[in-house]
Amino acid sequence: MKNLGPNAFGYGYPAPVLMVGTYNDDGTVNVMNLHECARTNAGHLACFIGPRSKTHENVEKKRAFTIALVNQNLIKEVDYFGTVTGYTNPDKFARTGLKAKKSQFVNAPIIEGSPLAIECELIEVIYKNNFTTVLARIVNVAADESVLDNRGRIDSQKTGMLFFDAFSNSYIALGEKVGTAWSDGKKYL
């Protein structure tokens, strides 16, 4: 193996591309591109959002947000959301032509066209250096029926979800299933 140094890791391994939806003070929709969000052991989400972003301000004020899964149908819009800020482009959501509806569970918008929405309530914001960890409780998950399997569970293969690959600065699609978790390693038990 060749040693590349710590900066070669960049933003890290490929991570799901997500849209974080919030409401501005005037009721308009604000959306940002996010790829740094993970489920915690407690079943909460830990999202890493820059403290100087419009989304961060909205999350703290409204104490709620949604996370929309991104597929290839939304690639241009989500890339745009990651390029401009809601502070200088307050109409950035409207500019894309996307539509949103109010969540039934939290004070945040659900982005139409996304196959999956995670509706969240803010638990806590943890400040550390130039970033914050937004810790949230999942209140509801809504999925388009087209991405459910025959038992009514989310089938990730059907979502068409995208990942951000920081190594190549590109978006990549979810690949094929190559194994079964908690099963393939049983031969070593």
Tens of pLDDT, residues 108-147? 999 999 999 999 999 999 998 877 999 999 999 999 999 9
Specify if 8 maps to a domain: no
Domain presence at residue 100: yes
Average of pLDDT values for 88-100?
A: 96
CATH of the domain at 107: 2.30.110.10
CA distance 58 to 50: 12
Residue 96 located in a structural domain: yes
pLDDT above 80 for 81? yes
Let me know if residue 6 belongs to a domain: no
- Top-ranked range on mean pLDDT: pick from 22-36, 37-51, 166-180: 22-36
Predicted confidence (pLDDT) at residue 76 exceeds the cutoff of 80: yes
Q: Write out the residue range of the structural domain in which residue 51 sits.
A: 14-188
CA distance 41 to 176: 26
Question: Residue 48's pLDDT is what?
Answer: 93
Whether 1 maps to a domain, the answer reads no
64: in domain? yes
Q: What percent of the chain has pLDDT over 70?
A: 99
* pLDDT value, residue 161: 94
Q: Is residue 75 part of a domain?
A: yes
Domain membership flag for residue 5: no
- Radius of gyration, alpha carbons of the chain: 17
Domains contained in the chain, number: 1
Predicted structure pTM score: 0.92
pLDDT grade, residue 89 (50/70/90)?
very high
Confidence grade of residue 42 (pLDDT, cut at 50, 70, 90):
confident
